[in-house]
Chains A and B, each alone.
Chain A
Amino acid sequence: MSVEVLSLSGLSAAEAEQAAAALLDIDSGPDRLERLLVLDDTTRLGEHLDVYQQIDTSHRVERLLSVTVGPRPGEGHTLELPGNLGGVQGSPVLWVGRPAGIDWKVTKSLVANRHPGFTPTPLDRHPLVGLLSVAEMFDRVHQTVLESVPDRVASPGLWLAGEDDESATFAGALAIAIRRACEPGPGPGGPFAELMPDRAGGARLAEAGPLARYLGRVGELDRVATHTLERLGGLGGLVRRGAGDIQAHVARVGQALADLRDLVDQVLRDADVAGGIGDLTDNQQSLVRNAGVEFEAAGRPRPAAVAGASAVEQSPVFRAVAGAVRGGDAFQLVGERLIATERETGRKGSAAYRPEVEARCPAAFLAGLTSPAQKLPRRGGLREARHDLGLDGAATAARALADLIVGVANREWSPAAVTSGELVRAKAALDGTARALAGVATGASGSRGGTRAARLARLAENLVPVLRELVLHVLAAELSAPSASGPEALRVAKDRTGALLTEWTGLVHAQGVAAQPSFASDSARDAVQPVDDDAASVREALAYPVRDEMWQLCAPADLRALDVDAPTLSIRFASRLTREALRSLPGDEPVWTSSGSFAGVLRLVPLRSGVATSTWGAADLADPPTVLES
């Protein structure tokens, strides 16, 4: 049920033949060619004769519709067509003398007015081509021209719903959407929890590494000391029988704790990067690894990573920002959270944590454990004995030292930890995008009151999800190809945003306000539905008198070639989504399209008799009949 488009526009004869051959090839081309829309330049039709013959003889094409673009060649007044186009047997042809068209009312006075708001676009993005690419429209146009247009060649005219102010409508709605998305709003503050070192760093003690072994040794000796205490029956027994024995056990715990403490302190000192600026040297990485610190990211993929997602979508920064932005948080707020995160995750070098070693395991406490002159407690059960002997304190200190080294590893050494540079560039990308968007919003004219304002507001609501995707698109581009610095990221983001807005605006000019740019995600696409009150403008467009002034796709000079006396044909069309709302529409049944965003009227004005000629012969083409245009 699709329409295949073969664009021969701008192609030399050889290139055109190659393009046609590729499409018509039974093996490599499409399975079926039920509908073929051929786009060509009027001046190259003669040059492309072989291609049309090729199409004709391939026996692949069920229905062919031709759109030929541009003025008639030379000084002639004839539109010379290949033999299988137009005439009494050829395929239907729509002649677009001038893609920008004119505004014209079908009368004998032949007065052309400039059609405002048309932006030059590639031919395949012209609204007419977009319309004919919809299967239902292709079929109706094909049938109508075949059955009702003399010589099967017509000049098309368009009247699109809302087309009169499409650009202004979009610009106004976009400005509202930008203000809505960029203005400060409520939302969670503070750093992104998922980007904090303890969540992102992935550090842990390797089971067989020295740090884990030293920690285990403290626990093991603690258990031996506790077991001894239990055997002695608490402090009473201790006093009576085993004082010397338990003192030795506690001293061993103290020695093991001292070993752990020394190792932790040594690693913090030797794996220090001054001020936290820069990366670990190879030697320092070995040191950290040999001390028994390992990182989850170094061994296997992160568990939270989504299978099939692109690299940038697996970036923790992107996922955090995308979650917030898609959740509706204001861009400014998200930026502030990135900076709060950067402040919390900032590196300062592992040596800066050395005072923590003393705080978590004071030297005086260690001396008390290992001192043989330790004064023994005289009363209480096992719990009191452990506490009084310092065994509880030793266990706590050992755990605290292990936590310290893992915490420092997450923050200072982890290859998976989010860096200051990454966060700053992400913030710069958001700000650059927001600044570029703000420029657009400032430049747009304010909306007037009444129904237009209401429509703009509703349309803006539809644009906000697309706008959010635009921001994320820019962010993803930055994260996947990082700029050298934050200021560069800011500049690049502005440029990228400008380019995306240009793409979007161009698409809207070509396809209407509901056009979806490439960066819109599926969810954003789903969010964009025809605006309710569009039904009114669609109804109005479909009821538009067919001979009144509308956008005729010809040049002023072509008007003399049009037959204003012949009945003017028209085809009304609208999205199937609006069918219910337009149920009571009088007149012919419109074409209800299953895709595309168009609604309106296609007017087909026949050419004066004799203007179009169809022939296969080059000799005939070189000697066209004379036609009088009066």
Chain B
Amino acid sequence: MADVLRFRRAATGEQEEIGVRLDDVEFPAGESLTVRTVWLEDGTPNGVELLQHRPVGGDRRQDGYLRLDNEILAGRRLHEVAGWPGYPPEVIRLYGDECASADPFALFEPCRGEPLREVGEYLDSHAFDQFMAGLLTALCWLAGAGIAHRAISPDTILWDSDDAKVRLTDFSRSAPFGAARVPVGGSMAWVAPESRPDTCFGLVGPRDDVWAAARLLYFVRSRGQNLENRAQLAEIGLAQMFNGMLERVFGPPEDRPTARDLVEHGLRRRHILPSVEDGGKRLIQGRASFLNARARLRPDAPIPVDFWDDIIWARGQREAGGPQSGAG
């Protein structure tokens, strides 16, 4: 008899219960999550193949919960702003999730492509242009959803050479704009100074990801080299390509251009910007209905202190005339 999964489907927001076949083999997905293949039995011969992310057991399980929450939040927000049919192909798509039980999980559609660590140096100039546009477009979508990825690197970004598409994966360290930055470990080559353990400060915003994204552009353009100094951007033509704007990415976060700025004023390709609607009102409605539903079940449950932080932050940005999302 097949196993049964109960989850909230991202496309509809409805709860579903469906028979599945589970792969016997489960792989680590980072330090705190695991991944395995599942096939939803939807009546088709092979079923729907999905990847199931789950927290690891043991002393890292708590961290696993947080990482999984981040993935689910990013996925849901992207669905809110893009919808199912308009979902950006540049970003891994959440199929559904179960976040309330003791054994939570997220279901993602399989993501085609290979890590840029493996294939980044083999993109010719035409493919590089597609990669560059795709990466910045993806960041615009994230900004539209009010999310920073915070782990952009050649290992988390894939390149699908069949479709000439970039794919952003691993949202386990992502955070909503306005949340206090928490330190991100890993190679200093890919973590911006404001997010490093020793120098972490401030709030997450639409300028966080462009630091690593610009380094990734250099990594691919230079055929696998890490950026050592800003002068190297000009040596391989990147500085000129962005009309001198890319160097500013490596300054303090508040002075950085957003991905949208880089596309519009650096590349001067406004036409590739995605049209992302402001999801603020819908977000507030969703949060409010969540609180109402919870209050009916648990009237005494306190509201988490940072529950409205991102929405308050976005409103503050709007009132100050700054980029509330950095999206199109």
Enumerate A375-434 residues with CB–CB distance to B below 8 Å. Answer: 419-421, 423-425, 427-428, 431
Contact flags B195-236 to A (C-beta < 8 A → 1, else 0) = 000000000000000000000000000010000000000001
CA distance A277 to B237 in the complex (A): 13
Q: Given contacts A277-B129, A339-B223, are A427 and B236 in contact (CB under 8 A)?
A: no
Q: Which residues of A contact B123 (CB under 8 A)?
A: 424, 485-487
Docked-complex contact B129 and A427, CB < 8 angstroms: no
Say whether A485 contacts B125, CB under 8 Å. no
B4 at the interface (CB under 8 A from A): no
Contact A420 B119 (CB under 8 A): no
Number of A-B residue pairs, CB cutoff 8 Å, is 63
Cβ–Cβ < 8 Å partners of A558 in chain B: none
B99-127 contacts to A (CB < 8 Å): 114, 118-119, 121-127
CB <8 Å contact, A424 and B122: yes
Assess the B126–A421 pair: CB atoms within 8 A.
yes
The listed residue (B118, B119, B125, B240) touching A347 by CB distance below 8 A is: B125
Task: Decide if A421 touches B119 in the complex (CB within 8 Å).
Answer: no
Asked if B182 is an interface residue, CB under 8 A from chain A, the answer is no
Most interface-central of B114, B118, B119, B159 (chain A CB within 10 A)? B119
Contact of B119 among A277, A423, A486 (CB under 8 A): A486
Query: In the complex the two chains form, is B237's CB within 8 Å of A346's CB?
Result: yes
Q: Are B129 and A490 in contact (CB under 8 A)?
A: no
**Complex Cα spacing A425 to B114, Å:** 17
Question: What separation, in Å, do the CA atoms of A485 and B113 have in the docked complex?
Answer: 13
Complex CA–CA separation, A427 to B159 (angstroms): 18
Given known A339-B223, A427-B122, A490-B122, contact A485–B127 (CB-CB < 8 A): yes
Closest beta carbon of chain B to A429's beta carbon, Å: 10
Q: Does A275 contact B (CB under 8 A)?
A: yes
Distance A503 CA – B162 CA, assembled complex (angstroms): 29
Is there an interface contact between A486 and B161, defined as CB atoms closer than 8 Å?
yes
On whether A276 and B125 interact (CB within 8 A), knowing A339-B223, A485-B164, A487-B161, the answer reads: yes
> Is B288 at the interface (CB under 8 A from chain A)?
no
- What B residues does A488 contact at CB under 8 A? 161-162
B272 interface contact, C-beta 8 A: no
Q: Is A484 an interface residue (CB 8 A)?
A: yes
Partner of A277, one of B126, B162, B223, B240: B126
Instruction: State whether the Cβ of A241 lies closer than 8 Å to any Cβ in chain B.
Output: no
- CB contact under 8 A between A420 and B124, given known A346-B237, A486-B161: yes
Q: Which residue of A lies closest to B235 (CB)?
A: A343
Q: Are A485 and B129 in touch, CB under 8 angstroms?
A: no
Interface size class of A (residues with CB under 8 A): 20 to 34
B residues less than 8 Å from A427 (CB atoms): 121-122, 223
* Chain B positions 120 through 143: 1 when the CB is less than 8 Å from some CB of chain A, otherwise 0: 011111110100000000000000
Chain B residue nearest to A489 in the complex (CB) = B122
A275 and B124 contacting across the interface, CB-CB below 8 Å: no
Closest to B267 in A: A275
Asked whether any CB of chain A lies closer than 8 Å to the CB of B312, the reply is no
- Cβ of A348 < 8 Å from any Cβ of B? yes
Q: Is A186 an interface residue (CB 8 A)?
A: no
Q: How far is the CB of B191 from chain A (nearest CB, A)?
A: 26
Answer whether residue A278 sits at the interface, using C-beta atoms and an 8 A cutoff.
yes
- Complex CA–CA separation, A421 to B128 (angstroms): 11
Interface status of B241 (Cβ within 8 A of chain A): yes
How distant is the Cα of A428 from the Cα of B125 in the complex, in angstroms?
A: 14
Contact in complex: A484, B129 (CB < 8 Å): no
Identify which of A276, A352, A486 contacts B127 (C-beta below 8 A): A486
Q: Is the CB of B125 within 8 A of A421?
A: yes
Measured between beta carbons, the chain A residues less than 8 angstroms from B129 are 275, 277
CB B129 to nearest CB in A, in angstroms, measures 5
Is the pair A424, B124 in contact by a Cβ cutoff of 8 Å? Answer: yes
The answer, among A275, A428, A485, for a CB contact under 8 Å with B241, is: A275
Tell me the chain A residues, 284-339 only, with Cβ under 8 Å from chain B.
339
B262 smallest CB distance to A (angstroms): 15
Specify which chain A residues have a CB less than 8 angstroms from the CB of B124 in the assembled complex. Answer: 419-421, 423-425, 485-486
In the complex, the chain B residue whose C-beta lies closest to that of A432 is B122
Q: Which residues of B contact A487 (CB under 8 A)?
A: 114, 118-119, 122-123, 159, 161
Asked whether, in the complex, the Cβ of A343 is within 8 Å of the Cβ of B125, the reply is no
Annotate B143-164 by CB proximity to A: 1 below 8 A, 0 otherwise: 0000000000000000101101
Given A275-B129, A275-B241, A277-B129, check contact A485 B236 (CB 8 Å): no
What residues of B have a CB within 8 angstroms of the CB of A275 in the complex? Answer: 125, 129, 241
Say yes or no: B161 contacts A428, CB within 8 Å: no
The complex places the Cα of A278 from the Cα of B129 at a distance, in Å, of 11
Residues of A within 8 A of B164 (CB): 485
* Chain A residues within an 8 Å CB radius of B118: 487
**Contact B161–A484 (Cβ < 8 Å):** yes
Q: Which residue of A lies closest to B130 (CB)?
A: A277
Which chain B residues lie closer than 8 Å to A276 at the CB level? Answer: 125
Q: How far is the CB of A339 from chain B (nearest CB, A)?
A: 5
- Bound: A459/B118 CA distance, A: 33
Known interface pairs A485-B164, A486-B119; A420-B159 also in contact (CB < 8 Å): no
- In the assembled complex, the Cα of A348 lies from the Cα of B238 at a distance in Å of 11
- CA of A490 to CA of B127, assembled, Å: 15
Residue in A339, A420, A490 whose CB lies within 8 Å of B125: A420
5 A-B pairs with the lowest CB-CB distances in the bound complex, closest first:
A486-B122, A487-B119, A485-B161, A421-B124, A487-B161
A-binding residues in B (CB < 8 A): 114, 118-119, 121-127, 129, 159, 161-162, 164, 223, 236-237, 240-241
**Chain A contacts to B: CB under 8 angstroms:** 275-278, 339, 343, 346-348, 352, 419-421, 423-425, 427-428, 431, 484-490
What are 6 pairs between A and B in contact, CB < 8 Å? A346-B125, A346-B237, A352-B240, A484-B162, A487-B123, A487-B161
Given A275-B129, A421-B126, A486-B122, output 10 extra A-B contacts at Cβ < 8 Å.
Answer: A339-B223, A348-B240, A421-B124, A425-B122, A431-B122, A486-B119, A486-B127, A487-B118, A487-B161, A489-B122
